[in-house]
Amino acid sequence: LKKKLGKLLHEGHHYFIFDFEGLNALDSQGIGFFISALREIRSRNGRMVLIRVDAKFAALFELTLLNRVFEMFTDLETAKKSFGPVKDKEPV
């Protein structure tokens, strides 16, 4: 996932949507990945959102106060609309 993100950033993508549907577990390494990804994306003036975050992961994000850092949406269409008009590339 880290390599894929790097490739997409290199290709000029700036808007990212991570879908949590079907995710069964998220450990500290996984959380670290999302924090690093957010930093890297923001450093390139990009934006990242999470979608379909189920109750157990939402509780984890609240407990760690990461709900204040990550934008979360219930579905793909709402997330895409949150980006407004995208001039360069569609969110991936």
State pTM to two decimals: 0.89
Residue 12 has pLDDT above 80, yes or no: yes
What long-range pairs does 58-67 form, CB within 8 A, spacing at least 24? 60/26, 60/31, 64/31, 66/31, 66/35
In this predicted structure, what is the pLDDT of residue 46?
94
Residue 85 has pLDDT above 90, yes or no: no
CATH code: domain 16-82 is 3.30.750.24
- Closest by alpha carbon to 9, among 39, 49, 34, 44? 44
pLDDT in tens, 22-69: 999 999 999 999 999 999 999 999 999 999 999 999 999 999 999 999
- List the domain boundaries for the chain: 16-82
- Closest by alpha carbon to 5, among 29, 55, 53, 39? 39
Residue 90 has pLDDT above 90, yes or no: no
